[in-house]
Chain A
């Protein structure tokens, strides 16, 4: 391979693109380059997640930064022949702006413009399986500096001054956490990385582990030095096999390079890592449950205090940080706490990665400075709501969080303002909902989730979420009763106040916040037996427009409960006479179909069967 490359091709191999078939594209690319005889002149790198997951598979060609989206293997020969060989970008594969204009480069795409990448600095840029590429971007420099030039308390001081707060949910100051653990005297301490990204709809931790695993390893070693631990554990969801594979590979490489193991950088400091794979339990994102799981037990939370900093893994002092938090550490060490603290807001420093998904044009991972408004994220970066529909609300913090309605679109996204709104930052899942989303149904969805995932230890969470779920289910089935809203509110309050762990204490949030902002929707369900968004099937009624019905009967065939039958209606009909004769109009009986509202189950099969858009939903 020649040292000079005429092009550098990044093929996104993030989980989203893998799911979209990037592996076949990669193979086609390698074959195409070989066929054209230019393989030796081009460097191809499979990177971690670039962020724009809905556009995958994605290829970026440097030096220009040309961004190709939704590339299929059959598109690859064009890219190779036209772009690589002849230097002419393939227009049809470029990203199109909303106005239809093509965006020739990544930098010109709105989705990327407002982003500031600290956590995701290497994702989509380097080959995550090659430690050299990480090192080339100052990787392990921070660890070297810490081990050779700093005392542990200086490291803690830097993290404290940076203002970094935990990115896993509650936003506890990271430096303080480290300080607590460092003060406890013990023969053994642990650093644990929480990569049990449980919030359904958040996948930033996954992307970091898959796209930049060494940043997590480096940060854990730094944390270990700061608190005096020489063993670390990374607890990863089993649902992320690619992350597990890349991280294992990175750990092996790091050991080979001597940045993990004994006597790192000749400092006499030892640190090693082990991966523990979860087995499917959301509650293990709660730190004491996570520790129980690492210990090989049921993931049952235990009361705090004692906090893990005092008594954690195997009752030894333990610091638990989430992936995104850790990924901030090396840049903070290298660029200084003042630099980090200059980004963001007064109480929330740095950036936050959001997983933007739901009813939004551009989905994917977005890293923005703390304090960026929801409007900027939804409209400037996310490109607004598809189909010109109206933004209704954004759900932050997943099942532990709450919704932010349209009236608060200008809210700066930071820890404290979100809590004031009844939502929370959580891990950064940001689900956009439009007018077709029923807020009662969404509340029910989240409660179903926490209910399924409740460990069952404490009464408020085990029984309380079940009772709340039963009430919500009743409401969405049109069996709501006066007083249900008040019961939900009082139960929610009790559960928040009395549950043992964070899962239970936050479980009622989606219900309480939707009641707070969308009480009218609850009332419509309960009092008028109506679902304004037309989602709750038991409340949805279908209707056949007689004028549009052609009497074909497809709907009646499709109806699973036999609720559709033909009826005769008077209709004007133009009867064509033989040539030369005058066309006359006469009244005649015509067969159309109608739905028996009492028997209709609201499944919508008729609407999908109708070819004439005669069936409407009310």
Chain B
């Protein structure tokens, strides 16, 4: 098998970088033990590590400092000045989120001067912010509101005129409301450094500053890949998903429609957070119950389609290896990644698996196989998906996604939107009994569950491919080497007695680095998994917003735990999937499967190969 691979120099190890290497402080457990420093915070001696900030040290010591522009997934910015502290000997009040710790430093986080400064800074920020919270999507879950409450703002002393900017609703996935923007810079940093997309940037300066795509164009005209990471880190209501849940309610209320819903794996690992359930709790049973109570006619699990994806993609991989086709094969589950590839790396489009994403496979199966089974015309089936993702909205709207003749997925809503629906319906989610997904498309395996975490698709594929290739059951179920949160991971795994080189990347800047290495011949693989969002779907752009630095790990752990408890953990052992093949599709890669479950890609016009992405990111 090695013969079919380009030769690789073994010393060329890929850099395993986290999402934002330049901005994330070295964690204490990093390979080289960081030097311990001692500083005093509010009279308590605290140990800290070189490279940490005063904020890191203070939070670890249980002294929370209010922040606004700082976000653990984005890194240090230092623009809002809300987190100022007093440091003895300093001329001014430094921002703790960007001030490195130093030995012997004496810090005060809550003095009258600090409180006054924070409050004035926040009042200034409110001077240019619309005071129409009641109508805002973030009302009640807004970081700016929380801050105003925490700092005890009772008076908005200042007001300044701001030039009004129309909201941008051009994108299928995202809505921008520039009037609400507080110019913190999180989205710009995410879009440029974490995702290497470079669509959002600052323009103009001073009070005219704004965050915008080039020439204030709408996102639809830009190279936006709809990943929604900007919406996930926005502290206010300036960027959010395009809300479509009201359309779902309308459809449910329409007696002519048969409304079907599918739920992606990552949703169950996060939606509980919206209802006060601790992060890292999988709420699969409650979720199924809630969807039934909302009035959906059938409640299906996208994990079924994930298993189906493995059947098709695994087949494609073995086929390409056998027939010496184009390698590496790159996964296609993440529509943000697919759009990124079409826009910035069109030379890799031939490597991307022709499989539709699980959402779209499910959509196609619902309006064909299921509709026939249920005796409903495809036009009367209203297909809803609940996704951790904003790019799924874009994907569902792609014109070619109509295998049954009508649109495969009618509405894709995010995890956050579903939470809003549940709240609006008055359902006490936290106290719901566990329910079940409906058969046949609600039946799934542990392999489908782990799709929600980075490395999960790879692991699920390996579980199936290694057995299919060996033509006998393999003992190995868990592939720990592909798990983890590093931005790029690689390994060689045994498939049917042969070494298969694989790589996993999450976050588009990491993807760009990996592709660049492949393009330059510095690395070669058989199979590559790429997810647009750092950490995979659990950290998708449609997931509940969180400032918890451990959030990705907690959500992923919930999925792996759920997988561990499943009886069936390999996609090819999913009996419902087998039945689908027996009754309808024939076998993986069949003509019917191709027509319904596969797709083609097109290079985005005018996109400059690779160079459109930030150079530094690559």
Contacts and interface: CB of A to CB of B under 8 A. Distances in A.
B580 interface: no
A494 B112 CA distance: 12
B92 A497 contact: yes
A452 interface: yes
B128 interface: yes
B95 interface: yes
B81 A500 contact: yes
B257 interface: no
Contact of A498 (B84, B128, B157, B183): B84
Interface in A453-495: 453-460, 462-464, 466-467, 470, 487, 490-491, 494
Interface residues of B, number: 35
A498 B92 contact: yes
Contacts of B95: 303, 498, 500
B158 interface: yes
A303 B81 CA distance: 11
Contacts of A300: 202
Contact of A456 (B78, B80, B117, B209): B209
Interface string A283-304: 1000000000000001010110
Contact of A462 (B92, B116, B117, B207): B207
Nearest to B185: A457
Contact of B160 (A281, A454, A458, A466): A466
Contacts of A462: 183, 206-207, 209
Contacts of A303: 76, 78, 94-95, 98-99
A298 B202 contact: yes
A494 B204 contact: no
A460 B127 contact: no
Nearest to B124: A463
A359 interface: no
A459 B124 contact: yes
B93 A497 contact: yes
B79 interface: yes
A460 B207 contact: no
B121 interface: yes
Interface in B118-138: 120-121, 124-125, 127-128
B156 to A, nearest CB: 11
Contacts of A498: 81, 84, 92-93, 95, 117, 120-121
B66 to A, nearest CB: 13
B82 to A, nearest CB: 8
A463 B127 contact: yes
A142 B120 CA distance: 52
Contacts of A497: 84, 92-93, 113, 117
Contacts of A491: 120
A467 B209 CA distance: 16
A453 B206 CA distance: 7
Q: Most chain-B Cβ atoms within 10 A of its Cβ — which of A300, A487, A497?
A: A497
B476 interface: no
Contact of A305 (B92, B100, B125, B202): B100
B81 A459 contact: yes
Contacts of B183: 456-457, 462
A457 B210 CA distance: 10
Nearest to A496: B92
A505 interface: yes
B205 interface: yes
Interface string B135-148: 00000000000000
A39 B124 CA distance: 68
B9 interface: no
A348 interface: no
A460 B122 CA distance: 9
B4 to A, nearest CB: 40
Contact of B78 (A302, A454, A494): A302
Contacts of B100: 305-306
Contacts of A496: 92
Contacts of B124: 459-460, 463-464, 467
B205 A463 contact: no
Contact of B207 (A463, A490, A499): A463
Contacts of B157: 487
A459 B92 contact: no
A455 B206 contact: yes
Contacts of A281: 205
Contacts of A457: 79, 183, 185, 209
A302 B75 CA distance: 14
A13 B268 CA distance: 76
B567 interface: no
B529 to A, nearest CB: 32
B84 A452 contact: no
A509 interface: no
A149 to B, nearest CB: 38
A464 B124 CA distance: 6
B35 interface: no
Contacts of A464: 120, 124
B158 to A, nearest CB: 5
A303 B97 CA distance: 10
A162 interface: no
A505 B207 CA distance: 17
B117 A470 contact: no
Given A466-B160, A494-B116, A498-B81, A456 B127 contact: no
B19 to A, nearest CB: 19
Given A451-B207, A464-B124, A491-B120, A459 B93 contact: no
Interface in B190-221: 202, 204-209
Contacts of A494: 116-117, 120-121
A470 B160 contact: yes
Contact of A451 (B81, B185, B206): B206
A91 B95 CA distance: 64
Interface in B559-590: none
Contacts of A302: 78
B92 A463 contact: no
A459 B125 contact: yes
A505 B125 contact: no
Contacts of B208: 456
Interface string A436-455: 00000000000000011111
A467 B124 CA distance: 8
Interface in B436-490: none
Interface in A495-528: 496-500, 505
Contacts of B205: 281, 283, 298, 453-456
B48 to A, nearest CB: 15
A297 B378 CA distance: 53
A425 to B, nearest CB: 16
Q: Most chain-A Cβ atoms within 10 A of its Cβ — which of B100, B128, B205?
A: B205
B79 A458 contact: yes
A467 B82 CA distance: 18
Interface in B65-84: 76, 78-82, 84
A505 B93 CA distance: 11
B293 to A, nearest CB: 45
Contact of A500 (B79, B158, B207): B79
Given A303-B95, A467-B127, A470-B160, A460 B121 contact: yes
A459 B202 contact: no
Contact of A490 (B78, B99, B120, B209): B120
B207 to A, nearest CB: 5
B441 to A, nearest CB: 50
Contacts of B207: 451, 454, 456, 462-463, 466
Top 5 closest pairs, chain A to chain B, by CB: A456-B209, A463-B124, A303-B98, A454-B206, A494-B120
13 contacts: A298-B205, A300-B202, A456-B202, A456-B204, A457-B79, A457-B209, A458-B81, A460-B120, A464-B124, A466-B127, A466-B207, A467-B124, A494-B116
Given A454-B207, A455-B209, A463-B124, 12 more contacts: A283-B205, A303-B76, A303-B99, A456-B183, A459-B82, A460-B121, A463-B127, A467-B158, A487-B157, A490-B120, A494-B121, A497-B84
